[in-house]
Amino acid sequence: MVGQHFVRFLEGHPWFKLTWVGASDRSAGKKYAEATAWRLEGEMPESAAALTVFDSKPGNAPQLVFSAMDASVATDIERAFAQAGHIVVSNSRNHRMEPDVPLIVPEINPDHLALVPAQRCKRKWAGAIVTNPNCSTVTLTMALAPLAQFGIQRIFAATLQAVSGAGYPGVASMDVLANVIPFIGSEEEKMEVETQKILGTVHNDHVLPLEAAVSAQCHRVAVVDGHTVATSVQLYHKPELREIQTAIEDFRGLPQQRELPSAPQRPVIYMAQADRPQPRRDAARENGMSVFVGRLRPCPVFDWKFVACGHNTIRGAAGAAVLNAELMVAEGLVR
C-alpha cells in the first residue's frame, strides 16, 4: 500500500521520475499493473503501470530508492542496497532506531543528516539509509516542533488512527466498523522512542534523545485517512496561549526556506474553530503535507492540551520519504 502511495505521490514530481520498481521475486518480471491490484482512488498512473517489476536487489536500480518494504524483509534488503551505493530513503521501521541512522522530519531535524558520514564510515557503505518516522509520530512531532523553544518536559498523546495506516487488507471491517480497537501492535513504543530521537540532538556519531517523558495510547477508529492525536504537554518555560499560537503560525523549516517541491507553505496550521481539526475534513488539505492543530487550551494537569491531525499515508509515509529525499538533494547528499 505504501508503495502505491509512493507511485501516486511521485506522479508528476518535478525532480524525481519513477523508473524502477522492485518487489519479491514472485512478482519480478511482471508489469507493475499485473503485479499489484490498485487500491487507491482512481486508476493506476499509466507511467507506473507499464514499468517492469524487478527483484529487490541492487543491480540495475537507480541511485535513489524509496523503500516501503514490509518490516519482515526490510533489514537485509535495505542494507544490501546501501552497501551497493544506493541512497535508501526508507519508510520501514527496521533501521529507524539504530544510532547511526537519521530519523528525519525535514522541518524539525534536518541536521540529523550529519549521521550519514558516520554511518557510511562505520558500516563501510557506499550508500546510506535515511528514515522517516511512523505515521503517528510525524503528526505528534510536527505539532510539538513549534513548542520546542519553550522546553518540552513531558508529553501525553492519545491517538485515534485511520485504517489506512495498517496497509491492505489491514484492519478487518468486522473489527473496526462502529467500534474502537484500543491496540495497535508496538505503535505506542514507536511513538515514544521515535519522538525522543527526532527532538534530540546530534552528538558526534549518534543522537542524544530528548529527555522528555512521552506516554502514548493508540487506538484504531473507523476513519479512512488521517490520524488524530490528543496531546497534553508540560513545558519548562510557561508560554501564554498567544505565544503558542504565534509559534505555530510562524513555524517554518528548512524545506520551506529551500522551497522543496513537496514542502507545504505552512508546515503546521492552527485552526481556531471549536471542533477542528478533523481527519476527513482537514488531513488531505495542502496536499496532505501539513499538520493541523486546534483546540489549544490549558491543561489542568500539564500546561497545555491540543489536538493535532495529519495525513498518515502522505505526511506520515510516502510524502515524508519524498520530502526526505528532496532535502538530501538540496543538501547535496543525492546527486
Catalytic residues: 135, 227
Judged by beta carbon, residue 15 or residue 302, the one nearer a copy of itself is 302
Judged by beta carbon, residue 175 or residue 250, the one nearer a copy of itself is 175
Judged by beta carbon, residue 129 or residue 229, the one nearer a copy of itself is 229
Judged by beta carbon, residue 214 or residue 330, the one nearer a copy of itself is 214
Dihedral, 201, 206, 212, 215 alpha carbons, nearest 10: 130
Least gap, CB of 43 to a copy of itself (angstroms): 8
Residue 264: which residues within 8 A CB-CB, separation 6 or more?
256, 286, 287, 289, 290
**Cα separation, 291 vs 277, whole angstroms:** 9
Instruction: Kindly list the residues in this chain that would bind a copy of itself in the complex (CB under 8 A).
Output: 1, 39-42, 154-156, 158, 160, 163-164, 168-183, 192, 213-215, 217, 219, 221-224, 228, 230, 232, 274-282, 284-285, 294-295, 299-302, 305, 307, 309
Judged by beta carbon, residue 212 or residue 325, the one nearer a copy of itself is 212
Least gap, CB of 139 to a copy of itself (angstroms): 13
- Residue whose grid cell is 508546515: 267
Least gap, CB of 266 to a copy of itself (angstroms): 13
Which of 2, 199, 221 lies closest to 103 in space, CA to CA? 199
**Cα separation, 247 vs 150, whole angstroms:** 10
Cis peptide upstream of residue 298 (ω within 30 degrees of 0): no
Which of 318, 310, 335 lies closest to 13 in space, CA to CA? 318
Joined grid coordinates for residue 127: 550508500
**Cα separation, 277 vs 279, whole angstroms:** 7
Least gap, CB of 251 to a copy of itself (angstroms): 19
Least gap, CB of 305 to a copy of itself (angstroms): 6
Q: How many CB atoms lie within 10 A of CB 28?
A: 16
